[in-house]
Structure 1
Amino acid sequence: MSPWSCSFIYLFACLAAARTTLLSHTIQATGPPIASLSISTPSGGWTTDAPPPLVIDFGPVLAGAIVGRQIRLCNTGQSTLTITRSRPPSLAQLAAVNPGAELYEGQTIAPGSCATGTVAVYSSPQQPNRPAQRIESYWILGTDGKDARDRTKEFGIRGIKVGVTITTRQVGPLNGQNGTGVYQYVGCFRDAPARNLEREVNGGSPSRLQNNTNGNCMDICAMGGYVFAGTEYRQECWCGNSIGNGAAAFRDEKLGLCGLACTGDGGEQCGGEGGYLSLYADQGRFDIVGFLDSVKGSTGSTTPTTTAGSATPTGSTGPAELWGYLGCYRDNVDSRRTLSSKTNSSDGMTLEACAAFCSGFNFFGTEYARECYCGYSLPSGFVADSADCNTPCSGNKVQICGSGDRLSVYRNSVYNTPPPTPSHVPRVSSGAGTSWVWTGCYTEVSGGRALKSASLARDDMTAQLCASFCGAEGTKMMGLEYGRECWCGDSLEKGSAIATQAECDMVCAGDGGEYCGGKNRLDVYRAG
């Protein structure tokens, strides 16, 4: 064979090899995307691409905790994978963390790459001794790729089931069989001069007043054989065998009216301002479920009068019917509240709850995720950057409730005429010839009481009523606190100091024209 023929043979062999290589690369480049789905494990690993349905079960999660798990979508094919459908969970307590940026519709995943999405449990803080709550949802995903489990089939649309069981602390007497509390939470009830429960058991004990918790109250009521136990005004414990004001006293929990922290545990609520009782019942002697079913639709059950819009991250939407969003405002400027007529706080705070709480005012504002403030007027010059209000509401993570010293402010479309400005009564008579003179606003003693000889708490409290009570006790000084409390003594205990007059800003429960101290602040009077 001549060299020329050999060269031609070699040339054809080279061309054939090149064609084979080119075709091979062409075939590889046009291979389909292949979708492989897995979920993270509690230990930090990943599941294999198991047959559907994939399940993320967080198991029991204590109320107030935030935990997360991830979904991973990988492309093991040879061309770009596109997410054609994504419907993440969006419940208040079970939701995708960043649905607009993780596993979103239209997202592309290169060959050999993965994308992840995080789903989290945002369990709202709850009162102790509540039944476990099961919450379930799905993250629906679709792609244009083949299924990694069977590459002859399309991935199609898959659902990842997500579930959690929200549990609460169980306090007070416990059932021996399952460890649940004997007393279970019934709800928030409006109290009145005709009390819901007949006996208050903490009043004669400074130690009990200062260390009040729902569990401690249950223990006391259980020892007395009572069916019901209730906490109120942070420090009070009430026991009884019937609900004096019945279903008409029940209030929807969404309103956040029972939001005062217990004196003995700041993580629990012991009633609320304005006479609201956190009520528990012995579930073996009272049908809680039946009672709650009976009060649905009751005229005594206060519900929000507004419809909430879905708040965007800038907080620009909110209760849609009566209230209009004004913007983000500064608070605590020169230690003064921007809205100071009425306040409330709750770990279940939502825009609807604050709107209902402030229904008789012209403005409301939410702050620090859980605080609600009402006012008849809004000072000028306090507007802040809209981006400053960026904290999700504690009771609804898709709504915005201000941030640190920043209020998300709304205006009522119905104007409410402000009442006459209250004042600190300069002088009051006890009715027995003794005159009491106002000496100023004073701080409470840390961990104790500035005046501790005697005390009285009433929903019709006035300076006159307190003067009569302390006059009968024969003390030389009296102090009004929290709008409804009266304290007597001969001198202020060490640690109490003069405060600004503005800090005693709570009106008397029995007379809106008078001030009766404030939060840990006393309007102090001296006999003479």
Structure 2
Amino acid sequence: MSLLNLGLLALSLPLAHGRSIQLQKRDLTVFTLGGWTSLGCWSDSQASRTLSLMAHSGQHVSDDNCQYQCTQLGYNYAGVEYSGQCYCDNWVNPIATQEPDTDCNMPCTGVPSQPCGGPDRMNLFWNGVTAPPPPVTITNPGVEGFVSEGCYTDSVAARTLANRVATSGGGSVMTIDLCVSACKAAGYSLAGAEFGGECYCDNQFANGGPASDQTICSMKCNGDSTNYCGGPGAMNLYSLNGATPVSVAPTSTTPVPSATVVLPSAWATLGCYTDTNGQRALTNFIAAPNTGMTVEFCISACASNGYSIAGVEYGGECYCDNSFKNNHGLAPDGSTGCNMACTGEAGETCGGPNRLNAFAAGPAWVQLGCYSDQVYQRTLANLGAFTGDLTIEKCLASCSTAGYSLAGVEYGVECHCGNSFDNGGGPAPDGSVGCSFPCAGNSAEICGGSNRLSMYEYINAAGVVATTPVASVTPTPTPSPVVASLPSGWTSSGCYIDNAYGRILSVQQPNSDTLTIESCIATCSGLGYTIAGLEYSTQCFCGNSIIAGGLPASAASDCAMPCSGNSAEICGGPARMSIYAAGAVTTAPVPVVQTTGLPGTWSYSGCVSDNVGARTLPYEIDFGTTNSATTCLTQCTSLGYTVGGMEYGAQCFCGQPADFTASGATTSTNCNMVCSGDASGICGGPGAITYYTS
């Protein structure tokens, strides 16, 4: 039998240490917790979700983890979708349909051997408990003398009813009764309920009008699922005594939230950033609490999950990351688009449609987006010095060393520095379109464009956006950690940067409100690890070496947060880890794609997407802890395949050029995971393959 005609047959491949592995079609195995049953693969859509509550999004999603989360939240159905989304509900949307199991073919971000749905496809699970039938939702005909006028259009930029009011209990429990009562008490004759939990009042309407499609008011009231409370850009309108609503000329006045947001230490406000649904600026979603979204909640949730950037959007959404993705930056129209009140605190602003109010923790350089520039009237006055071909990192280092707080890269090869924006320079009027040139030293990075700067700004350790040279910023003195007693042989190794390329210690322990240096060391030592790391007051990590390009922080004072169990001790900070070790600390270099020393005639061909309808490459070898480009491609060669690549750190895939072409795979930016068998190499990422051809 030819090696190229193996089909679904598995091949046993002997390894040097005697174990054998299997080359086979990638069969993902559904996993269920006790009492849960798999219902198969079902359709889903953003417009009408199969299960209504998104419980979690991002890393660590798996079949069993989602079932557990839904159990804890009191729901009977759980569903996983698009590798990293977990949904819960007590009822399944009746318009959902069962689809072929082969449509649910994307590996979970948390456990790649389990399926987590696909694009608009959900692996659905049920715990066997049947909830009472869901209540029928209707348009409330009216209460307290107010009569329904139907569904009216609305816009955050030009409100139909000008005055937003708070309702008893907040937006998370709003009903038509509560909204009408609030407007009546305030002396208004018109009331409008919108987006499930927003209430607006006036005596006449402007800008909007009766919706041609009344079904756009399809969101249930947060506090009463039997009634509709408008929708996105739509409100259920009520008038006192049924009087015909009177239209007036539009006004340009929009109420502005006024509550003061108190930021945690080291965090700074960045401004209003662009975002899009398909290509997020910040890629990790955090669900709002029952009390509604606030800026404080989002920042705290992002920080506790190891992220240094937080953003709030559309009144009730929270996103986290450690850098801005997909070339997003400050909105070219300034703060205009960030005009929606937070669902949990009407006095705070939580972004808007496709707009994020963004916040970041220092000390760090933060991306501002694409800025305009002119050759003879520079936005940043000084050229940065660097050696070799330009990368973003080289420019930031150059500007920092020279004492500047602003850095910009342009035309793929230029580095500019400054402490202020000169000559009218600011966010480019066309957004990020003009910043499209790859950096000469790293084609995966964007270094501005023609008369366009990819701009960065420095936030210092106190959470202050630097307006003075970086070199002149004096960190606040931090007391040395007070430790009662370290085990014999254990010493402090200083403060390290975490999560720049992933976690620098591989094993995370459960968060603890009683964490101390001693307790973390005891845990790691007891598990056989030689390094212990403490972060963000409550987090403990273990490992035997520093991985993912972890490096010492520029200052010991970057680690400045007191331990949750002993305020006299220091337990790291935002994206900063206090490291303790038994012996010398070994550090793996920043991982890069292997392009030299490859077997035979193999060459690197880029980072490509996986799971586009069908698999990009159909044959899999799981190398566990020994995967690398050399190991993977050697096996592909021995089996007669001429294209191959690695995914999710430990997975190796082989195929033929026709497989790649048929899959419709596209370029991806998600190849960022360290090879399980080579800490210096990149082996793909979630839904992305580091791709090679021979």
- TM-score normalized by the length of structure 2: 0.26
Structure with greater Cα Rg: 1
